[in-house]
Amino acid sequence: MSVFGESQVDRLTNKLNETPQRITAETVAEAAKVSRAAVSRAFNPDAPLKPEKRASILKIAEELGYVPDRAARALVTRRTHLVGMIVPDVCSPWESQEIDALTTALQAEGFATLLFKTRTDFSMDETLLAYMRGFNPDSVIAFTENVRPHILSRFLDRAVPIYINYLMDEEPADGVRAREPEALYDRIDVDQWEGMEQAVALLAGYGCRRIAYLSGKRDSLAEQARRRTLEVLMARRGLTPPIIIPGDFSYDAGHAGTLDLFRVGEGADAIFAANDESAFGALDALRYELKRRVPEDVKVVGFDDISQSHWRSYNLTTVKVDLEARTRALVRLILRRLKDPAAPALSETVRTRLVVRGTVG
């Protein structure tokens, strides 16, 4: 068969088709008639290379089906393009939606994600942390406070972990940051104050005086900050402290706790739930077992504004944590830290606001 008129790429492609083998940077360099180093520079946006030469190399690499070896590149650049996520749960609505949004945003920036799940008490086996170290991630986001920064940092190389910090009383909560001053970490500050203040003002404006708080897991810093903020806001309006309904952020606990509140206790004018999922449990208990009208008899407010909250069956009034804003803030923290690895602790603030729907009104 004649190869007259064939390009160097065509000849190499035909040869490779005859003898299947792994496409290497050297293969691309031969086809493009450049050095091996030039191929490496073409795949590094920060490396000096003429635009037309870079474009030519990348085109030939695409034609040959070449994909750079991430492990080899990591040895040179000290970047793995991996981001670890430590989560307490992967199936609850808020966590699953946040994981989905963050994974999508990180992939758009060229990162892959590693998912690690904690025990039920939010702690993490150190064997698993050691396993994480083997991946040498560029960043690790800890969505749980029980994997403490000074412990996590021991299992990371150059990565600085990111923690979620919850603010209350318009001041930093006594959370991870206060407990771990010796460990460097970056953080997202979730300011619950504004949205919760709007919720309490709305309930008070409708004449609610007996307000129950459907709590989350007792050891959660988010739960502690949420409860304390509600107590302060109610006290400032001259309301009696909230009636506490023990919960754990789940639908079932919200449902059972609401039944107990009305069947054993004296009921309430309103229920403020620590999250939307438990608020759904409260709503179903009120409507179907207790035969209470919502919002005429009892008003219900949730927290988070997960995607199910606007469904007509719930139509839940809730304190919104803007998931898109929180995702963008997390990505910014990762990129800022990679740009300046020696920077002191970095932070971003995410605010909240009340979304009024049919369960209050």
Does the residue 262 lie in any domain?
yes
Residue 70 confidence class, pLDDT cut points 50, 70, 90 = low
Among 68, 88, 103, identify where a domain stops. Answer: 68
Does the residue 356 lie in any domain?
no
Same domain, 269 and 327: no
Q: d(Cα 136, Cα 109) in Å, to the nearest integer?
A: 18
Same domain, 209 and 313: yes
Same domain, 105 and 210: no
Does the residue 218 lie in any domain?
yes
Does the residue 30 lie in any domain?
yes
Among 26, 44, 68, identify where a domain stops. Answer: 68
150 or 281, which is more confident: 281
Same domain, 336 and 188: yes
Tens-digit pLDDT profile for residues 181-210: 578 999 999 999 999 999 999 999 999 999
Mean pLDDT over residues 55-69, rounded?
A: 82
- Range from 71-75, 112-116, 158-162 carrying the lowest mean pLDDT: 71-75
Q: What is residue 112's predicted lDDT score, i.e. its pLDDT?
A: 94
Same domain, 178 and 207: no
Q: What is residue 148's predicted lDDT score, i.e. its pLDDT?
A: 87
Same domain, 296 and 315: yes
Residue 171 above 60 pLDDT? no
Q: What is residue 178's predicted lDDT score, i.e. its pLDDT?
A: 47
Same domain, 228 and 317: yes
Does the residue 359 lie in any domain?
no
Place of tokens 């089906």: 65
Does the residue 354 lie in any domain?
no
Look over the chain and give the mean of its residue pLDDT values, rounded to a whole number.
88
Q: d(Cα 116, Cα 95) in Å, to the nearest integer?
A: 13
Same domain, 248 and 130: no
Tens-digit pLDDT profile for residues 74-84: 544 567 899 99
Same domain, 214 and 184: no
Does the residue 357 lie in any domain?
no
Give the 3-state secondary structure of 266-320.
Answer: CCCCEEEECCHHHHHHHHHHHHHHCCCCCCCCCEEEEEECCHHHHCCCCCCEEEE
Residue 109 confidence class, pLDDT cut points 50, 70, 90 = very high
pTM over 0.75: yes
Residue 7 confidence class, pLDDT cut points 50, 70, 90 = low
Same domain, 297 and 230: yes
Domain coverage including residue 31: 8-68
Q: What is residue 236's predicted lDDT score, i.e. its pLDDT?
A: 96
Q: What is residue 200's predicted lDDT score, i.e. its pLDDT?
A: 98
Q: What is residue 289's predicted lDDT score, i.e. its pLDDT?
A: 98
- Range from 216-220, 249-253, 304-308 carrying the lowest mean pLDDT: 216-220
Tens-digit pLDDT profile for residues 256-278: 999 999 999 999 999 999 999 99
Q: What's the domain count of the chain?
A: 3
Does the residue 74 lie in any domain?
no
CATH of the domain at 308: 3.40.50.2300
Tens-digit pLDDT profile for residues 299-329: 999 999 999 999 999 999 999 999 999 999 9
Residue 346 above 50 pLDDT? yes
Q: d(Cα 214, Cα 209) in Å, to the nearest integer?
A: 16
Q: d(Cα 92, Cα 133) in Å, to the nearest integer?
A: 27
Same domain, 245 and 179: no
Q: What is residue 176's predicted lDDT score, i.e. its pLDDT?
A: 46
Cβ contacts of 89 within 8 Å, gap of 6 or more:
95, 117
Same domain, 132 and 120: yes
